[in-house]
Amino acid sequence: MSERFINPNILHLPQSGIRKFFNVAQEIPNVISLGIGEPDFVTPYPIRRRAIDSLLDGETQYTENAGLFPLREEIAYYLKTRFGLEYNPKTEVVVTVGASEAIDIVLRATLSPGDEVILQDPGYVSYAPCVMMTGAVPVPVITRSDNEFQLTAADIEGKITDKTRAILLSYPNNPTGSILSLECMQDIAELAIKHDLLIISDEIYNELVYDGNTQPSFAGLDGMWDRCVTINGFSKAFAMTGQRVGYLCAPKGIAEQALKIHQYTILCACRTSQAAAIAALKYGRETEYKDVIMMRESYDRRRRLMHSALVNMGLSCIEPKGAFYAFPSVESTGLSSEEFCERLLKEEAVVCVPGSAFGPGGERHIRCCYATDIDKMKEAFLRMNRFIQRLKEE
């Protein structure tokens, strides 16, 4: 078999738990998906227009490895004015192909085989595989619904060994919709200093926080800038998922090493998308981010609608505070998260993502995305409710 040609490290990488649902869902007519992980808005028109103009103007060449300098300047300005972070656009910002690439190159730049990385569990599907591809070991720390899925220093500390190198985390969180309190952040920061750990903070959802809350950046905490990598991108806040533009910001010593990997493997992010990203930040700045605010308000209304519907159908669910996901428990149904989602899909044509796809800590939960049309969402709630009532009678 051709498997003999494959690197065992890759061969043993688990298949994504999401792929399976994708294949089944495609075959089912009238399916309603709450299983999508991206905005339901199209990129705002001025941003798309700039991408077209960039192509028409013949901007079709490579850019600097780290990305167009005006884009890095806009990113630095954006992070400073919106999140109070200071980065030098010349040496501390690298534009990547989505935040996903940023995660990959930071991990590759900082980890050696055998190193250990603390990950929140449940957490984003690619963190553990990306860690494993470097030969390092992901060390999951389970977060619980009774603590609103917040990662705590106490839970982390029990998992720290002399091989622990970094903590990789993301708040607002996919899949749980939780945010991390400043108090928890400060405890984790203290721990990172005590054990000399790197913090890799994926802040891709940081514009999507509700109820007047905010999610502070790790790099902005006292004493953290030097040991922190901030990862972000345009996909969620500016509805630009398919354009694949993200970035990492880090002290020069880390950024320039990650840039080496980027330079040798990617060369540069797509120029058209970079032009669009400049427009996103410039247009955002000039309009006081009115499109970002409009999208956030729209998600917020649907967030309340979804949370209320889930609770009304008898599922226990913490109120999501950020991103665009609710993460209810299906424990009361007696089904595993995968069984629940498989049967819901086959019997009622509704797609949710089993929590187990996000790690063992996600078991007995499902991820429901509220970046979904209201009418469709309400039809999905009717179907889910019918399904849950039927389960009770079994």
Partner 1 sequence: MNDLSHKVLDILLKDCRTPLEDISVMLGEDSVKIAEAIDKLQKDGVILKYAPVINWDKTDRQFVEAIIEVKVTPQKEEGFDSIAKQIYQYEEVRSVFLVSGMYDLLILAEAPTLKELALFVSEKLSVIDFVTATSTSFVLKRYKQDGVIFEIPTRDKRLLVSP
- Asked if residue 336 binds partner 1 (CB under 8 A), the reply is no
Nearer to partner 1, 126 or 147 (CB): 126
Interaction between residue 311 and partner 1 (CB under 8 A): no
The reply to whether 33 sits near partner 1 by the rule CB under 8 A is yes
Residue 126 or 385 with smaller CB distance to partner 1: 126
Among 302, 321, 364, 365, binds partner 1 (CB under 8 A): 302
Query: Which of 13, 18, 270, 313 touches partner 1 (CB under 8 A)?
Result: 18
Question: Interface with partner 1 includes 15 (CB under 8 A)?
Answer: no
> Which residue number, 28 or 160, has a Cβ lying nearer to partner 1?
28
Q: Does 67 bind partner 1 (CB under 8 A)?
A: no
Chain positions 112 to 151 lying near partner 1, rule: CB under 8 A, are 124-126
Distance of alpha carbon 334 from alpha carbon 391, whole angstroms: 9
| Span of 4-12, 69-77, 135-143, 296-304 interacting with partner 1 by CB under 8 A | 296-304
Question: Strand, helix or coil at 321?
Answer: coil
When asked if residue 313 is in the footprint of partner 1 (CB under 8 A), the reply is no
Residue 80: phi and psi, rounded to 5, are: -70, -45
Alpha helices in the chain (DSSP H): 8-11, 17-26, 45-56, 69-83, 98-110, 127-133, 153-157, 182-194, 252-265, 271-286, 290-312, 337-348, 374-393
Q: Is 31 in the site for partner 1 (CB under 8 A)?
A: yes
Other Cβ atoms closer than 10 A to 200: 27
Nearby residues of 339 by Cβ (< 8 Å), 6 or more positions away: none
Q: Please tell me whether residue 377 binds partner 1 under the rule CB under 8 A.
A: no
16 scored as a contact of partner 1 (CB under 8 A): yes
Q: Residue 36 interacts with partner 1 (CB under 8 A)?
A: yes
| Nearer Cβ to partner 1 (339/373) | 373
Q: Is 26 in the site for partner 1 (CB under 8 A)?
A: yes
Residue of the chain from 304, 343, 383, 386 that contacts partner 1 (CB under 8 A): 304
Q: Rule CB under 8 A: is residue 349 a binding residue for partner 1?
A: no
- Does 351 participate in binding partner 1 (rule CB under 8 A)? yes
Check the CA dihedral 259-261-264-266 and report its sign: negative
Full DSSP string of 45-111: HHHHHHHHHHHHTT--S---TT--HHHHHHHHHHHHHHH-----TTTSEEEESHHHHHHHHHHHHH-
Buried-exposed string 18-47: b where 16+ CB fall within 10 A, e elsewhere: eeebeeebeeeeebbbbbebebbeebbebb
The span from the CA of 385 to the CA of 70, in Å, is 51
If the CB atoms of residues 196 and 375 are measured against partner 1, the closer one turns out to be 375
The reply on whether position 35 binds partner 1 by CB under 8 A is yes
Rounded distance between C-alpha atoms, residue 90 and residue 67, angstroms: 10
Q: How many CB atoms lie within 10 A of CB 362?
A: 26
Say whether residue 13 binds partner 1 (CB under 8 A): no
| 324 near partner 1 (CB under 8 A) | no
Q: How far is the CB of 111 from partner 1 (least distance, A)?
A: 22
C-alpha triplet 287, 290, 292: angle, nearest 5°: 125
Q: Which residues are near partner 1 by CB under 8 A?
A: 16, 18, 21-22, 25-26, 31, 33, 35-38, 40, 124-126, 174, 297, 301-302, 304-305, 308, 351, 353, 357, 373-374
